[in-house]
Amino acid sequence: MRSLFVTLLLTSALCGPALAGEIWVTNEKDDTISVIDADTLEVTRTIPTGERPRGIIFSRDYSVVYICASDSDTVQVMNPDTGEILHELPSGEDPEQFALSPDGRHLYIANEDDAVTTVVDVQSRSVVAQINVGTEPEGMAVSPDGKVAITTSETTSMAHWIDTETQTLFANTLVDSRPRHAEFTADGVQMWVSSEIGGTVTVFNSADQTEVGKVRFAITGVNPDLIQPVGFKFTPDGKTAFVALGPSNHVAAVNTETLEVEGYILVGRRVWHLAFSPDSRQLFTTNGVSGDVTVIDVASRTPVKSIKVGRFPWGAAMRPTKSN
Amino acid sequence: MKLSTLPRAALLAATALALPVMAQTPVQIDVKMTYLRQEAVLPPTLSNLDPIPEDLGIAGAEVAFKDNKTTGAFLGHAYALDVVSVEVGGDLIAAAEAALQSARLILIEAGAADLQRLADLPAAKGAILFNVASGDAGLRDAGCRANLLHTMPEDAMRTDALMQVLQARRWTDLALITGAKPDDRAYAAALRRSAAKFGLKIKAEKAWTFDTDLRRAAPAEVPLFTQDLPDHHALLIADEADDFGRYIEHNTWLPRPIAGSEGLEGQGWAPVVEQWGAVQLQQRFEKSAKRDMTSRDYAAWAAIRAVGEAVTRTNSADPATLRAYMLSDAFTLDGFKGRPLTFRHWNGQLRQPIPVVNARALVQLAPLDGFLHQRNELDTLGLDAPESGCTAFGG
């Protein structure tokens, strides 16, 4: 992530001052993607997808975008310029979230209905492995060195650690109820897992899978039951994690060193996932129930705009575009 | 487009290669559970449109059992579930005593009196029994038992949820028609209590006494039967056996919505619940049972999942350890209703949101916004600590 950011900075230095880009948002109940221009903050395109699009991720070179079309039981591969579906990848049943290996070769896909993680080679378009995990796998992550993949399973309340060499589990660690999302820190030293019903984020030391600490949340005037951490993102400097807190309608800014919450930002209803603008100065949140995207100014940690998208926006991904 | 792009055989081959760690994990503890059912003679109903499934409740237990087994495989916890069904007139006590010999975690589908009898058995001392079928008020009140937890919502939770919705709509003037069976009368009592609790008024009540074939006569009889009711915003029906209620709607003298046992209903679970990840549970259930999931299935599912959650977190199968954990603040169950589920420490009732539904959609999930509580808004539903006469839990 950091090297990518540096590359982007260099690119922008060569091409001009602005880092132009788009935020792609999957609309779970509309079977579409809304494309938001990160500069004008307007929806510029609405692209049809398969049924119930959720997870979305760009290839390393941004030439294609992968979309989990959950109810179509497939991962769609789309040309982001034309919106054309190029082909589909065998994904196993009900793919919800996925993660791409650092070399861009393998997709690790959580098959929510099947208690399985499917590993797909995006070049040969074939299944490399299927790994039995807990019930309702959802969160997926791959370590920066590509050696470890993570699946979290919601009903089993575990993070499953996968050795990507052998495609087998080498550790299973309990977390709080209903783990939703997993990410490694940019240096790979820590692995974070959010627990929606448990209301916490658990931080692991990647090297020995031990728990380093837990992030807990409390918002004045909001019932603790409704503070439900789901998606989260680290800032490029690694100092802050922004955590979406579901039906509490807030995003928390967490100090990654102390694991203390520094502040809460009010966004739309039932906030799910997040994506940074290319310059990382703005953060876009998908708000499922209100059907919009909140734009947060990262420096001041204030919401600056709501953008109406489709019904039940869920996943979000950034795509840099050439600046003019 | 289903999985046509990928041959199933290829998937299986790939799976075989990727043997999970769980295969090598040694079994450390055995968790034995029994589902004990007292079969009942169902009262005759006017319509046969909705037959009652043979595996009601049991099917929910089986889905949760599979969920637990998956988790247990990673931790060395081996779960076992026996199903014992006692026929009408059979010896429930003997069946319970036999089951308690091997399993100390028992789900019971029986009436309130039987539940109390079983909980009082010497063999049941130190075991945990789960009431997965009865909404009886007494069991959560002075008739509670320390070794009896309830995953089925009490009737008052369902009626409180309904009254919150009616109050939020400002449909505060009500009329009530009650059937002749004991369950109907108990449910009507819960409706009255809830109406008073939330400031709604039941302006008139009538007893349902018809013995004609309503399938033919409803358009003629029901308008006349409801003609002398004072004006009301909604008409409540207490018909827990699903006998006559379905013939009331759209046949009333005044055009009014129906609520209670029919129409707008507070339920522990319903097939129309789809938010909060519920679709996944509904699909797992449907795949397994080939039918929709009901409240009793959900209650059985929740009991077995509560055991699973407690075993996972305590690494123990000892009933006393599990009970202490389940009643502690540390326990949370993910019940696909948008909030963590917990047990009330004053009477062992599973604290849970209640979907208020019609046949086609979720109308609201109670508790509704604005119904406040000093500790937990979920305690606006059902018997709260100061109201409950239960002392068996040390309250």
How much is the ipTM here?
Answer: 0.83
Segment B323-382, tens digit of pLDDT: 999 999 999 999 999 999 999 999 999 999 999 999 999 999 999 999 999 989 999 999
Q: Taking an 8 Å Cβ-Cβ cutoff, which residues of chain B contact chain A? A: 1-3, 5-6, 10-11, 14-15, 17-22, 66-67, 70-71, 74-75, 277, 280, 283-284, 305, 309, 312-313, 332-334, 338-340, 376-378
What pLDDT was estimated at residue B23? 42
| Whole-number percent of chain A with pLDDT over 70 | 94
The pair of three-digit structure tokens given for residue B289, joined into one six-digit string: 């049972």
Segment A21-68, tens digit of pLDDT: 999 999 999 999 999 999 999 999 999 999 999 999 999 999 999 999
Helix pair angle (B319-326, B295-314), 10° resolution:
110
Nearest to A134 among B11, B71, B378 (CB): B71
Which residues lie closer than 8 Å to A219 by C-beta, 6 or more apart? A227, A245, A248, A250, A264
Nearest to A156 among B6, B74, B283 (CB): B74
Assign residue B392 a region (left: φ > 0; alpha: ψ between -120 and 50; beta: otherwise): alpha
Helix pair angle (B155-169, B182-197), 10° resolution:
50
Instruction: Give the minimum alpha-carbon distance from B4 to chain A in angstroms, rounded to a whole number.
Output: 9
Segment A253-312, tens digit of pLDDT: 999 999 999 999 999 999 999 999 999 999 999 999 999 999 999 999 999 999 999 999
The mean pLDDT of A91-118, rounded to a whole number, is: 92
Segment B211-248, tens digit of pLDDT: 777 777 888 889 999 999 999 999 999 999 888 999 99
The pair of three-digit structure tokens given for residue B185, joined into one six-digit string: 């009368």
**Are A269 and A287 spatial neighbours (Cβ–Cβ below 8 Å)?**
yes
Would the CB atoms of B18 and A178 count as touching at under 8 Å? no
- The CA dihedral of A289, A295, A298, A304, to the nearest 10 degrees, is -110
Would the CB atoms of B14 and A197 count as touching at under 8 Å? no
In chain A, whose CA is at the least distance from the CA of B375?
Answer: A223
Nearest to A129 among B17, B309, B332 (CB): B17
The pair of three-digit structure tokens given for residue B207, joined into one six-digit string: 């007893």
Which residues lie closer than 8 Å to B332 by C-beta, 6 or more apart? A176, A177, A197, A198, B309, B340, B341, B342
Instruction: Give the minimum alpha-carbon distance from B62 to chain A in angstroms, rounded to a whole number.
Output: 14
- Under the banding of pLDDT at 50, 70 and 90, the label for residue A18 is low
Which residues lie closer than 8 Å to A79 by C-beta, 6 or more apart? A63, A64, A86
Would the CB atoms of B18 and A197 count as touching at under 8 Å? no
**Are B291 and B263 spatial neighbours (Cβ–Cβ below 8 Å)?**
no
Kindly tell me if the per-residue pLDDT of B14 is higher than 80.
no
B19 contacts on A by Cβ (under 8 Å): 168
Among A132-141, B26-35, B189-198, whose mean pLDDT is lowest?
B26-35
Kindly tell me if the per-residue pLDDT of B2 is higher than 70.
no
Which residues lie closer than 8 Å to B179 by C-beta, 6 or more apart? B185, B207, B208, B238, B239, B240, B241, B243, B244, B245
Neighbours of A42 (CB within 10 A): 9
pTM: 0.88
